[in-house]
Chain A
Amino acid sequence: MTITNKILKVLVLALVVPLTINVAWAQKTTVDSALLDRISALEQQVADQKPGESHFMVAGLATFGFVKSKTTFLSPGGPGVSVKTNSFGDADHYELSPMLIWRHSNNFLVEFEPSFDGSSIGVNWANISYFAAPGLIIHAGYFVVPFGIYNKKLAAGWIDKLAGDPNGLDMPGTDFGIGLSGGFPLGDMKWGYDVSLTNGLQLLPDGELQNAGIVDNNKGKMVSGRFSLLPLSNSCLEIGVSGLYSSAGDVGSNFTTANVKMYGADINFVKTFNPFLINIKGQYNRIVVNKQNYVSQADTTLTYSFDNKTSASFAQFSIRPVGVDNKILKNFELAYRYSNYTTPNSSTWGQNSYEHDFGLDYWITWRTVLKFTYAHSHALSTANIPAGGVGGTTNVNSIYLQFSIEF
Chain B
Amino acid sequence: MKKIKIHNKTWAIIAIFSTFIAIVITGCVESQKVASKGGAQLWAENCQRCHNTPSPASFSHEQWVTIGLHMQTRAQLTAKERDKIIAFLSQ
- A interface, CB within 8 angstroms of B: 52-55, 57, 59, 101, 103, 106, 109, 111, 129, 131, 134-135, 137, 139, 152-154, 158-159, 181-188, 190, 192-194, 228, 233-236, 238, 268, 270, 277, 363, 365-367
Contact = CB atoms under 8 A, between A and B. Distances in A.
Per DSSP, chain A at the interface is strand
A188 B51 contact: no
B63 to A, nearest CB: 5
B73 A181 contact: yes
A183 B73 contact: no
Contacts of B66: 55, 57, 101, 103, 109
A367 B54 contact: yes
Interface of B: 23-24, 27-31, 33-34, 45-46, 48-55, 58-63, 65-67, 69-70, 72-81
Contacts of A153: 50, 74-75
B45 to A, nearest CB: 5
A129 B19 CA distance: 29
A277 B51 CA distance: 12
Contacts, number: 113
A54 B65 CA distance: 11
A135 B78 contact: yes
A192 B79 CA distance: 12
Given A52-B62, A187-B30, A236-B45, A111 B78 contact: no
A26 to B, nearest CB: 39
Of A131, A139, A235, A367, most buried by chain B (CB within 10 Å of CB) is: A235
Contacts of A194: 76
Given A103-B69, A187-B31, A234-B45, A52 B60 contact: yes
Given A101-B70, A158-B51, A186 B27 contact: yes
B49 A268 contact: yes
A187 B77 contact: no
Contacts of A192: 76
Contacts of B79: 131, 134-135
Of B55, B58, B76, most buried by chain A (CB within 10 Å of CB) is: B76
16 contacts: A52-B59, A53-B60, A103-B65, A134-B78, A134-B79, A139-B73, A181-B73, A185-B29, A185-B30, A185-B31, A185-B78, A188-B31, A236-B49, A268-B50, A367-B52, A367-B54
